[in-house]
Structure 1
């Protein structure tokens, strides 16, 4: 399957470089380039790409609003991957809540770029425990002070444990090893968790875990610490 990509960045050098690199791959096709969010929305509507690679900070319609419009217009078929200059960009949390599937630093290596596009195109969230976990913790610290709109009352203890481990950046295989269960069982728990909490992907699961206070900033994988095994009981 060929992954169709739209690249949007107001810096022509960056935009052209990313598009050129992606275009060298037989499984990736760059179907359009945009200099701002409004152009990205128009091009995405015309070409229906699998992935929209969007700079967060663009003049006029920024990348976050563009992501929200593109995702809504495509019914979630187009996945948004955000480009940012700094690891602690103040807008990354808002990008994830807008529906983006992850983010990529502009100084990412070529292999990292390819990996990010392929992961997002495959319907997965690009969430590294050492970067994304720390970043979300930083920008949700004040938000979790208010009572969350949702609770874990409808989840089983095991589903809460799985949610915490997802927020810590563990893969299904890692979760299976940690809980001493099969990968199939992990997938079943995740499917039930997502259905109960109306989550689209792991990015939303991470945000939910932080909003509920199940994980907090501290020590451990990715600079985050689980709130404890009894957090969801």
Structure 2
């Protein structure tokens, strides 16, 4: 199976590549340092599996990239690799199209099992997080009216929100996302309106509460 690895640390990419290339049924065909590069590598090689780090500052995050890649290359199965053992991260990456979720400190054997499981069409979730996933789905099912930022905001707005919260100006955001300043201003106004926020401090507090600054 062809595999692409996306992680912002070169030593991590090299370590995973060494492990996977040693397997008779696996070949690492490309690596990426952020979500934009991951998309490019998937477009170029159309791999069977993409190993995706969730947080890759300052580049595009794994969460945003996962949604884009699944939209355009649905045959590539995505396995999230992360240090976050938080049920909110798990819930949203699966909703964005990931097929599995493994912690970076898991044994090599678990990583290989996860890759082979999703390659065969299954879903792999680190055992420690399986209970959290069930609890999260139950909670969402019983509180359908509760606010969910991932439902309220568009994908572009989810890209812009953490940048605003981190202090980037409209021009800087426009340059990072290759859009116009007017487009950034329009999205910013929509974000504030949808979330019923009046100021940047309120937005930062909201972003911290919802754990989306890493994205």
Q: TM-score range by the shorter chain?
A: 0.5 to 0.7
Select 1:84's aligned residue among 76, 82, 107. Answer: 82
Counterpart Cα distance in 2 of 1:136 and 1:13: 34
| Other structure's SS at 2:55 match | coil
Greater helix percent: which structure? 2
Q: Deviations over 1:92-150 (max 9, x none)?
A: 211000010110100111111111111111111113554223245247635741259xx
1:64-93 Cα offsets, whole Å, 9 max, x none, are: 11111111111x200110011032263221
Distance 1:32 1:84 in 2: 19
Q: 1:173-210, CA deviations, whole angstroms, 9 ceiling, x for partnerless residues?
A: xxxxxxxxxxxxxxxxxxxxxxxxxxxxxxxxxxxxxx
Quote the RMSD (CA, aligned, Å). 2.1
What is the distance in 1 between the residues matched to 2:90 and 2:134? 8
What residue number does 1:167 align with? Answer: none
1:47 aligned residue = 45
Is the 2:2–2:49 Cα contact (8 Å) retained in structure 1? yes
Equivalent pairs, count: 145
Structure 2 contact 87–136 (Cα < 8 Å) conserved: no
Cα distance between partner residues in 2 of 1:108 and 1:15: 15
Q: Which runs of 5+ in 1 are unaligned?
A: 149-233
Q: Which residue of 2 aligns with 1:67?
A: 66
Q: Map 1:56-135 to 2 at 5 A.
A: 56-59=54-57, 60-74=59-73, 76-88=74-86, 90-127=88-125, 130-135=128-133
CA contact (8 A) 1:87 1:135 kept: no
1:41 match: secondary structure: helix
CA contact (8 A) 2:79 2:98 kept: yes
Distance 1:37 1:89, change over 3 A: farther
Aligned equivalent of 1:32, options 30, 33, 36: 30
Q: Is the 8 A contact 2:87 2:132 kept in 1?
A: no
Is the alpha carbon distance of 1:47 and 1:144 closer, same or farther for their aligned partners in structure 2, counting shifts above 3 Å?
Answer: farther
8 Å Cα contact 2:101/2:126 also seen in 1: no
The DSSP-based 3-state class of the residue aligned with 2:88 is: coil
Aligned to 1:205: none
2:4–2:47 contact (8 Å) kept in structure 1: yes
Query: What TM-score do you get using the length of structure 2 for normalisation?
Result: 0.62
The Cα of 1:57 is off from its aligned counterpart by 0.7
TM-score (norm 1): 0.57
